[in-house]
Amino acid sequence: MLAIFKREIGSYFNSAIGYAYLAVFYFFSGLYLFLTSLAYNSSNLSGVFGSLITISMFLVPILTMKLISEERKQKTDQALLTSPIKLSSIVIGKFFAGLFIYVLGILITVVYAITLSFYAPMEWTVIIGNVLGIILLGGALISIGVFVSSTTESQVISAIVSFAIMMFLFFSDGFFQNITNPTIKEFFVQMSFFTRFQDFTIGIIDISNIIFFISFIVVFNFLTVRTLEKRRWR
């Protein structure tokens, strides 16, 4: 697992993807920090976090699109699948590599918070809730991206499909507002990443929300393992 993790991190920074991702992420988070906090002389970072989930939705598919599809295209999956390691180690290694880069991006908000704390009192519980929430949310998005990447050889298809699924999950409550059946409507409201994330932004760390995101991560990583295992089915 560690070998895969190290290789993927190396691969992000050997190519421009890692740098481009972080540069764009830092640029937009900085821009939103200025527009939503600094411009109003406020130390409230909620605006920054709110905007980061949209940025993540656009950028995470780029981070995950090549993770497995590229292996299949380059036929390097032959090296992975014929090595004496478990399929789950391959998937987890790749998942954490994606998450690592994602967290590197998110940590900039902590730098903002610490910097601002020199000038104004900070609501640390809200910030911790936000950081935790956005990391869990990112984990769920990355697991979806890795799964989609395992189903195709094309990076472009991988990115587009991941983006579509993510967008659907984000706004599933909004999309199905007009549904009259209360059970189905409730289902989509509960599935909405946006609704789940809302609690974190106001500093409420609800265990059900944490479990929701973690289950999402586990389920999609499991599906990825099964996709890879499919080749070995009789």
Give the distance, in angstroms, between the CA of residue 180 and the centroid of all CA atoms in the same chain. 32
Residue whose C-alpha is closest to residue 94's, from 7, 202, 30, 215: 7
Q: What is the nearest approach in angstroms of another protein to the Cβ of residue 83?
A: 5
Residue 99: both structure tokens together: 């998450």
Q: Cβ of residue 78: shortest distance to another protein, in angstroms?
A: 5
Gap between the Cα atoms of 89 and 81, Å rounded: 11
Closest approach of another protein to the CB of residue 175, in Å: 38
Which residues contact another protein (rule: CB under 8 A)?
Answer: 2-4, 6-7, 10-11, 14-15, 74-86, 231-234
Q: Given the complex with another protein, which of 54 and 76 has the nearer CB atom?
A: 76
Q: How far is the CB of 16 from another protein (least distance, A)?
A: 11
- Nearest-angstrom CA–CA distance, 114 and 132: 16
Measured from the CB atom, is 42 or 76 closer to another protein? 76
Tell me the C-alpha distance between 71 and 57, whole Å.
Answer: 23
- Comparing CB distances to another protein, the nearer of 119 and 234 is 234
Nearer to another protein, 14 or 190 (CB): 14
Q: Look up residue 100 and give its amino acid.
A: F
